[in-house]
Amino acid sequence: IKGSISAADEPAVAIRLFDVARLLGPGTLVEEAALRRSLPLAAQLGEAPRFLRAASQYVRRFLRSPYASQFADELVKGIVKLHASLDLASIEATISEMSFEHQKVIYLRLARTSAIEGLHDLSDFASAKAASFENSPSGSSDARAVLYSSLSSVTSQNAVEILDKLKKIDRQKLAGPDRQLLDAAISVASDMLTTPVKLTAAPS
């Protein structure tokens, strides 16, 4: 409780209180909550090693918790926030401790968030990892992974290729917000390829 109260104004104090709570209540919801709430604080403080350590401990001990979806949200937001100080191998190592289904969900969330934030390398990495868990007999990729991997490249020199890829995505396999993202991406890519209208000077 003290840690939660202190989190907004004194994150360094709060994270130490969460450490104490974990030691006092191992294996309980107290430890689960303390680990989960340590993630955004570690990200805020820029402490990448602590962030990864807390994430790994949570995955090994509490991934079946009813609050695990909140952990997933904080994990994705923390990775995006700390992306400059986290190497892809360390991210992969942490996520690899989850089940295949959990991994795919995390990678898809990470791909979407990093694409929106314009983090090209991170989005490509997460999209590729998410696509690797696709078990479709036809060998087709997850529509979301294709969309997210294309978002950060839509204004690149490969706009023609990206636009073609976007137009081939099956809209029916996307949720409402992702359909809006698809429409926006197609619109931007199309505008990139539109020949500018030459304006003529008005007669004097």
The pLDDT of residue 202? 57
User: What's the confidence (pLDDT) of residue 138?
Assistant: 44
| Residues in contact with 195: Cβ distance below 8 Å, sequence separation at least 6, in sequence order | none
Q: Which residues contact 21 (CB under 8 A, 6 or more apart)?
A: 3, 30, 31, 33, 34
Length of the chain measured in residues: 204
The pLDDT profile of the chain, 204 residues, written as one tens digit per residue, is 999 999 999 999 999 999 999 999 999 999 999 999 999 999 999 999 999 999 999 999 999 999 999 999 999 999 999 999 999 999 999 999 999 989 999 999 999 999 889 898 898 899 889 888 765 444 457 888 888 878 767 766 677 888 888 888 899 989 888 999 889 888 888 887 776 555 555 555
Q: What is the pLDDT of residue 113?
A: 93
